[in-house]
Chain A
Amino acid sequence: MTRADVIAVVLAVVMLPFLYVSFWGNEGVADTIRVHSVEGIITLPLTAHRRLHVQGPLGASVLEVSEGRVRFVASPCRGQQCVHSGWLSRAGDVAACLPNGVTVAVTGRQPRYDAINF
């Protein structure tokens, strides 16, 4: 075996797990947050650590992104259903403040669900 052969073999062996993860292994892995409001769509990585103030017709809804999770901290609606939804972390998880027109969805490269029924 020449040195070139060895390099090629090593490269192929190294590439196999990468290819596997790339084509089969990433399904349902949450990596992105999509916030939808009357102002438009905001996309940010789930790894961010920050608070977002999203304006809606009733005022600002406050979202917190931390440790791979996102939640509504406060919203100017009466029902507070969005706040009660708690932390979202899996691809396909969705919470909405309908009165204020703000939704947050956790998405992945391949979402676990195509739709959520509730």
Chain B
Amino acid sequence: MRRPGSWCLWFLLSVATLLTACERPAEKVHHEQIFAFGTLVEITIAGTDEATAQRGSTAVIRTLNELHRRWHAWEPSPLTTLNEQLARGAATDVEADMLPVILAAQQLSRASDGLFNPALGRLLSHWGFQLEQRPEEVPPPHPDAVRELLAQHPSMEDLHVENGQLRSANPAVQLDFGAYLKGYGVDLAIEALQQLGIAHAIVNAGGDLRAIGRRGERPWRVGIRDPRGPGVLASLQIEGDECVFTSGDYERYFDHEGVRYHHILDPRTGYPARGTTSVTVVHGSGAAADAAATALFIAGPERWRETARAMGIEHVMLVDAAGKVWATPGLAARLTFESAQPPEMEVVTLP
């Protein structure tokens, strides 16, 4: 008969063995950070071998760089050529795969009641927000210049397709897809990965991302940056295929005579939209999420719910100027606030 000490020994060794047996398999994750598309792009790929992941990264970089080249709004590109033609009122040929993108943006603009308005490129240019490095000393545009431009009402509705050619009824229309292209870009990037058989990945283009699949045995974890601090405000888990897009007043701005001017311009006033600090949209399509984040930011705490409904967006979090969080029930249930003192949050249903 064994002595009691041996039983004790065997018991403890069994527990130790079981513990090691329960080790979560170390998921091999390919992670790459590159500068592409005029921003920092992070590519995270799981569940595949290193060679495939490397091919995936290369495909994403190629896709985004090509998009950047073709849709650049102020450096010579097919888009600037198109803008010159539109300003002349001439019917112009558009590269075959560019037209559907423009028409999809037109639909999103219509659904947002013009709050997402990529036809207002000239307004961004007046403000200097098209420049990579806006000189700090340049003041805001003269109010007359803004008023004059808005009086011409450049809108996506001015664009018409005739016999496969695009024409603008309004010479003030200048297309700038800055608030849309990142979304369209991550959609294309994820498509490129899927074509290589990659099913688990995140493409994060300058903070806006699309995630597919999961990270090994668990869902992807995404942290949403605190708009007023360095840390994370809230996190959520993603499993399957979803985009997380945020528009915030902290992304691009300048200070002039004690006033802060950010880059999200209200097409109705020509000035930075006030009342909102950030809007986060979780949605299946990156292009729609990108456009909606901008439109809902501009709609502001009073009107964002109506705009979200009209654009078919269900998962929204808005942080208003006072720091209060508003969220739709679907997203509120998924958010985990990360700070010791969570912000005041109101859950609101869409009309």
Contacts and interface: CB of A to CB of B under 8 A. Distances in A.
A12 B223 contact: no
B231 A6 contact: no
Given A88-B230, A117-B223, A118-B225, A23 B15 contact: no
Nearest to B229: A86
Contact of A1 (B3, B12, B209, B211): B3
Given A92-B232, A118-B251, A9 B5 contact: yes
B40 A92 contact: no
Interface residues of B, number: 55
Chain B CB within 10 A, most for which of A23, A88, A115: A115
- 7 residue pairs, one from A and one from B, having the closest CB atoms: A1-B5, A118-B225, A118-B207, A12-B12, A113-B223, A5-B5, A86-B230
Interface in A63-118: 77-79, 81, 85-88, 90, 92-93, 95-96, 98-99, 101, 103, 105, 112-118
Interface of B: 3-6, 8-9, 12-13, 15-16, 19-20, 22-24, 33, 35, 39-40, 42, 44, 132-136, 202, 204, 206-209, 211, 215, 220-225, 229-232, 235, 244-246, 248, 250-254, 280
Interface of A: 1-2, 5-6, 8-9, 12-13, 15-16, 19-20, 23, 36, 38, 77-79, 81, 85-88, 90, 92-93, 95-96, 98-99, 101, 103, 105, 112-118
B215 to A, nearest CB: 6
A15 B16 contact: yes
Nearest to A36: B33
A99 B252 CA distance: 12
Contact of B222 (A13, A38, A79, A115): A115
B8 A112 contact: no
Contacts of A20: 19
B5 A113 contact: no
Contact of B215 (A85, A86, A114): A114
Contacts of A86: 229-230
B209 A115 contact: yes
A85 B206 contact: no
B211 A115 contact: yes
A78 B230 contact: no
A74 B318 CA distance: 31
Contacts of B39: 98
Given A90-B231, A103-B33, A118-B246, A112 B15 contact: no
26 contacts: A1-B5, A5-B3, A5-B5, A9-B5, A12-B13, A19-B20, A23-B19, A36-B33, A77-B133, A78-B133, A95-B230, A98-B35, A98-B39, A99-B132, A113-B221, A113-B222, A114-B44, A115-B44, A115-B211, A115-B220, A115-B222, A116-B232, A117-B223, A117-B244, A117-B245, A118-B225
Contacts of B206: 98
Contact of B223 (A79, A103, A112): A112
Given A12-B12, A87-B230, A5 B33 contact: no
B40 A98 contact: yes
A113 B235 contact: yes
A93 B19 contact: no
Given A115-B220, A117-B244, A81 B232 contact: no
Contact of A12 (B16, B22, B252): B16
Contacts of A98: 35, 39-40, 206
